[in-house]
């Protein structure tokens, strides 16, 4: 049967992996190719690379980074950041991405998802949704521009619309939890995964294996994490052994398991 | 390193960078097919598969590669077909009503049931029939919404389960078709690619 995926996330700025809380205060976390290969050896099921470069020069570097990672990496690679039109997605796919994630630009112009799906297939079109609990009332709203903009748009409604427009998968980040190490927002995960038929990747808040298991038991099909891997707290293999012991279908035929 | 040439057949919007990188890591020397004759004369041909059944067949028809591809499969020349490439072996697919496949096998291609997440994204457990020599047991990476549910007669199947059994791969002599992506299936996939590349032409 299909196994739950563990997905390390690399935030890349001008060709280097960086990390920071809520995308602020970025610190260097290593070379993208070396880190990617290390995670594949540890048993990562996929990788996500988010280009957080703020400048056009940095964005140009992202394509070079994707191509360099692709030469070595033998597992799927999703790339996001700065995807504003189908041609941006095409350039990333040509460089070696297998899937492309659109975030702010898809909120601003939802047709973008349809364009990517029409050109490259829904299996390439990932919508990244950053969601935060509404200040008033129940539910979550979509936030964009790295959290600077609270849209007021209902996150569940946007997830449904994104899928109708062609998104084949949802990368769902809890803005309240991201970088806090307090666990995924399992209520948000349950609400979104109950509302759509496509796979949902949980993101934001992971600090220990139990957090990833909670997310998978709350409807997520895959779990994404960054700092717990970059900081060396756990290897991917460490996490997957705990998952398997908890009865979660897990791919454990790891060829090597060292950082 | 075998350094053996692999001619890759364009089907439009495939993940060619991943396919090329995977073939190189497995010891192959990939290049794009330039003409229909390429498909006939090449030692090894790979048919990568991303995109819909109808769009992939339209691309093959337009480039004149449908007939030489079908011929080399029937003759049993080393051919590796991936993802929608496996589905193209059938006559038709629910995905693209009216589109005509290669018709190598008589097996319907249908969508996964509503009981499971679609697309199927991720690693699934593949069980290979004892008659399989290139495909082995192990975890492989899938990205698909449609599949064959029954192994065609005369082919050695490898099966997996997502809302019921489906054909994860099938092989017959030097012809191998994988619903999964060997180029994205880590060490498992690289081993498969190497065994196929090493088959005699």
Residue A194 among the catalytic residues: no
Residue B41 among the catalytic residues: no
Contacts B114 to A, Cβ<8 Å = 197
Phi and psi, residue A229, nearest 5°: -85, -45
Asked if the structure places residue A254 within a domain, the reply is no
User: Could you tell me the residue ranges of all domains in chain B?
Assistant: 4-197
Chain B residues 158-187 with CB within 8 Å of chain A: 160-162, 181, 183-187
A192 touches chain B (CB under 8 A): no
Asked if the structure places residue A223 within a domain, the reply is yes
B114 touches chain A (CB under 8 A): yes
Tokens for A53, please give them. 């470069």
CB atoms within 10 A of CB B167: 25
Cβ burial, residue A252 (10 Å; 0-12/13-18/19+): middle
Which distant-in-sequence residues (6+ apart) come within 8 Å of A34 by Cβ? none
CA atoms within 13 A on the CB side of A253: 14
Residue A221 among the catalytic residues: no
Instruction: Answer for the pair A212, A206: CB distance below 8 angstroms, yes or no.
Output: yes
Contacts B17 to A, Cβ<8 Å = 67, 70, 93-97
Asked if the structure places residue A253 within a domain, the reply is no
List, for residues A215-254, the tens digit of each pLDDT value. 999 999 999 999 899 888 899 999 999 999 999 999 986 5
Cβ contact, residue pair A74, B162, below 8 Å: no
A135 touches chain B (CB under 8 A): no
- Counted domains in chain A: 1
CATH 3.40.50.880 fits B4-197, yes or no: yes
CB atoms within 10 A of CB B100: 16
Give CA–CA dist B192/B187, Å, rounded. 9
List, for residues A96-105, the tens digit of each pLDDT value. 999 999 999 9
State the nearest Cα–Cα gap between B192 and chain A, in angstroms. Answer: 13
Asked if the structure places residue A183 within a domain, the reply is yes
Contacts 24+ apart (CB under 8 A), A151-155: A151/A107, A153/A107, A155/A129, A155/A131, A155/A188, A155/A192
Give CA–CA dist A141/A137, Å, rounded. 11
Range name among A70-74, A143-147, B44-48, B94-98 with the lowest pLDDT average: A143-147
- Which residues are registered as beta bridge partners of A174? A131
> How does pLDDT run along chain A (259 residues), one tens digit per residue?
999 999 999 999 888 888 765 555 677 878 999 999 999 999 999 999 999 876 666 677 889 999 999 999 999 999 999 899 999 999 999 999 999 999 999 999 999 999 999 888 899 999 999 999 998 889 999 999 878 899 999 999 999 999 999 999 999 999 999 888 999 999 999 999 999 999 999 999 999 999 999 999 999 999 999 989 988 889 999 999 999 999 999 998 654 444 3
Instruction: Answer for the pair A127, A102: CB distance below 8 angstroms, yes or no.
Output: yes
Please choose, from the candidates B56, B80, B83, B54, the residue with its C-alpha nearest in 3D space to the C-alpha of residue B142: B83
- Which residues are registered as beta bridge partners of A132? A141
pLDDT score, position A257: 41
3-state secondary structure of A177: coil
The secondary element (H helix, E strand) that includes residue A70 is: helix A56-72
The angle formed by the CA atoms of residues B131, B142 and A74, to the nearest 5 degrees, is 95
A40 touches chain B (CB under 8 A): yes
Contacts B145 to A, Cβ<8 Å = 122-123
Instruction: Answer for the pair B100, B67: CB distance below 8 angstroms, yes or no.
Output: no
Q: What is the CATH number of the domain that holds A225?
A: 3.20.20.70
CB atoms within 10 A of CB A15: 16
Give CA–CA dist A214/A246, Å, rounded. 10
Residue B110 has pLDDT above 90, yes or no: yes
A41 touches chain B (CB under 8 A): no
State the nearest Cα–Cα gap between B175 and chain A, in angstroms. Answer: 23
Range of the domain at A61: 5-245
């Amino acid at each position: 049967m299909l196994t739950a995926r563990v997905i390390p996330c690399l935030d890349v700025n001008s060709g280097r992996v960086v990390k920071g809380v809520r995308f602020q205060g970025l610190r260097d976390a290593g070379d993208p190719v070396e880190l990617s290969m290390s995670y594949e050896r540890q048993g990562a099921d996929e990788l996500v690379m988010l280009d957080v470069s703020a400048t056009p020069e940095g964005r140009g570097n992202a394509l070079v980074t994707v191509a360099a990672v692709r030469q070595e990496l033998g597992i799927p690679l999703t790339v996001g950041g700065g995807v504003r039109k189908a041609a941006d997605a095409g350039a990333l796919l040509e460089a070696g991405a297998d899937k492309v994630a659109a975030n702010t630009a898809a909120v601003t112009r939802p047709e973008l998802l349809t364009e990517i799906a029409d050109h490259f297939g829904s299996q390439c079109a990932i919508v990244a949704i950053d969601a935060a609990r509404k200040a008033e009332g129940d539910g979550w709203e979509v936030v964009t521009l790295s959290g600077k903009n609270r849209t007021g748009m209902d996150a569940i409604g946007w997830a449904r619309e994104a899928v109708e427009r062609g998104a084949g998968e949802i990368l769902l980040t809890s803005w309240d939890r991201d970088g806090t190490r307090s666990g995924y927002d399992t209520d948000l995960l349950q609400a979104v995964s109950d509302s759509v038929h496509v796979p949902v990747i949980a993101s934001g808040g992971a600090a220990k294996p139990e957090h990833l298991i909670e997310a998978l038991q709350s409807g997520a099909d895959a779990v994404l994490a960054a700092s717990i891997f970059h900081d060396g707290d756990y290897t991917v293999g460490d996490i997957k052994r705990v998952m398997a012991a908890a009865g979660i279908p897990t791919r454990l035929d790891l060829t090597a398991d060292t950082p | 390193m075998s350094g053996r040439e692999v001619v890759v057949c364009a089907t439009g919007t495939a993940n060619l960078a991943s396919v090329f990188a995977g073939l190189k890591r497995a010891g192959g020397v990939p290049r794009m097919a330039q003409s229909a004759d390429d498909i006939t004369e090449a030692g090894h041909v790979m048919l990568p598969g991303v995109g819909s059944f109808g769009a992939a067949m339209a691309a093959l028809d337009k480039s004149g590669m449908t007939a030489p591809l079908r011929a080399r499969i029937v003759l049993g020349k080393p051919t590796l077909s991936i993802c929608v490439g496996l589905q193209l072996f059938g006559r038709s697919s629910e995905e693209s009503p009216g589109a005509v496949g290669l018709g190598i096998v008589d097996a319907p291609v249908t969508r996964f049931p509503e009981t499971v997440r679609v697309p199927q994204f991720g690693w699934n457990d593949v069980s290979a029939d004892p008659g399989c020599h290139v495909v082995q047991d192990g975890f492989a990476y899938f990205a698909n919404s449609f599949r064959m549910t029954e192994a065609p007669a005369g082919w050695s199947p490898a099966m997996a389960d997502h809302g019921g059994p489906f054909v994860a791969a099938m092989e017959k002599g030097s012809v191998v078709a994988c619903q999964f992506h060997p180029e994205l299936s880590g060490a498992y996939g690289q081993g498969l690619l190497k065994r196929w590349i090493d088959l005699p032409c």
